[in-house]
Amino acid sequence: MNLDFLLPLEEPFFEMISDYSETSLSYFTAIHSKEKGLPDLENVSIAILGVQDGRGAVGNDTTGYGVDAIRSYFYKLYPGNWSVNIADLGNIPQGNTVSDTYFALREVIASLVKKNIVPIILGGGQDLTYANYRAYDQLEQLVNIVTVDSKFDLGAIDSPLDSSSFLSKIVMEEPANMFNYSNIGYQTFFNAQEEIDLLQSLSFDTYRLGEAKDLKIVEPIMRDADIVSIDIGAVRMSDAPANGNATPNGFYGDDICAISRYAGISDKVTSFGIYEFNNRLDNNGQTAHLIAQMIWYFVEGFSFRAKDYPYCTKESYLKFIVPHEEEDMIFYKSHKSGRWWLEIHSRDDNKYKRHALIPCTHQDYLDATDQKVPERWYKALKKIN
């Protein structure tokens, strides 16, 4: 595994957590230290790593530092009723150039994902999502990206890569390995109408903040994600002040924890990042504490993964066929979790096979029986065919 870029946590951090309860997460997590070196990852399911580079964070200077503040709150928490092995791999330091940092992060994430370890990336600007995405180049598969953000971060086509333009680089640059992009929680007045129209024309999924407040719609979106990227600025300033671009409106703290849990419970999510935390602007550790709880909820969700996607045997599912004048729609309901999927008939192409079943809701099935075709079905069919 290519983990040479990682630095251990400093001794003062270990002195601080030594006073924590022996039943807290600090005693149940293998942490990278100078004395013990990198943890043994043989049975590890989740790996935490910090990135100490915020040079790509537009309007949010110094966001590359202070990741240990999040750790200080996380390791105070108590584990839930789970048996998930967690390792903290330390931090990726700021490279000579931002590209050096991207390269290091890409290599670390690729190594972990290949070993079926889910990385939780903390710190730095949301431009690091680009490096996260490029890690999947080595896996030779199409991926779905979900961002939780008040903005789309498309930027101008010719603008440099940063937190305000990373999405356009993902969409435009080769190799093009993204199958679908979804945004949860955008606020219309922060995004040009041309950008909204563009994403709709590309059959991507965008959900305004008001829509996403109904958290039931978030679960199937997360169930179809490979990469989840959260800009902490998507949370309202009163709940998460530690962001140079924080605004009055956004998700509440309990909303973002529920969203994180949905990401964790998704069988398909293989990397999870929380970005744009600026410790210099934190108020009494409020944002660091919230992010620590988001991580906790992600881990709890992970512990309850049903492992029913993609389906292995037809006996594990109920199959429903809904006649339609254009094409019959086929739904599957898991016996194990009660969750629903909708089948898409695609051309015979291996790279699309893992996208032939799209997560949906029971309401989508009910709408189909009333001859209302789910929008997600049309969008997926357009991409595949």
In DSSP notation, 234-250 reads: GB-TTT----TT--S-S
User: Residue 276 corresponds to which amino acid?
Assistant: E
Q: Measured between alpha carbons, how far is 166 from 160 in angstroms, rounded to an integer?
A: 9
Give the model's pLDDT for residue 223: 95
User: Residue 359 corresponds to which amino acid?
Assistant: P
User: What does DSSP say about strands 357-360 and 340-343: parallel, antiparallel, or unpaired?
Assistant: antiparallel
Walk across the sheet containing 46-51 and list its strands: 29-31, 86-92, 46-51, 118-122, 271-275, 227-231, 143-148, 178-186, 205-208
Mean pLDDT, residues 49-78: 96
Determine which of 7-11, 172-176, 342-346 has the lowest per-residue pLDDT on average.
342-346
Q: Measured between alpha carbons, how far is 137 from 150 in angstroms, rounded to an integer?
A: 27
Band (280; pLDDT cuts 50, 70, 90): very high
Give the model's pLDDT for residue 344: 85
Band (207; pLDDT cuts 50, 70, 90): very high
Domain spanning 11-303: CATH superfamily: Ureohydrolase domain (3.40.800.10)
Beta strand spans in 37-163 (E): 46-51, 86-92, 118-122, 143-148
Give the model's pLDDT for residue 347: 56
DSSP codes joined into one string, 142-192: -EEEEEE-SS-----TTSPSSTTTHHHHHHHSSS--EEEEEEEEE-GGGS-
Is residue 199 over pLDDT 70? yes
Give the model's pLDDT for residue 138: 87
For the stretch 347-378, pLDDT in tens is: 555 566 667 888 999 999 999 999 888 888 88
Q: Is the peptide bond before 119 cis (omega within 30 degrees of 0)?
A: no
Give the model's pLDDT for residue 311: 55
Residue with the larger pLDDT of the pair 195 and 379: 195
Give the model's pLDDT for residue 314: 64
Mean pLDDT, residues 173-191: 95
Give the model's pLDDT for residue 80: 95
Is residue 89 over pLDDT 70? yes
**Residue ranges per domain, the chain?**
11-303, 314-384
* Per-residue tokens: 186: 């955008």
Band (345; pLDDT cuts 50, 70, 90): confident
For the stretch 211-225, pLDDT in tens is: 999 998 999 999 999
Residues counted in the chain:
385
The contacts of residue 216 (CB under 8 Å, 6+ apart) are 361
Mean pLDDT, residues 109-138: 96
Is residue 310 over pLDDT 80? no
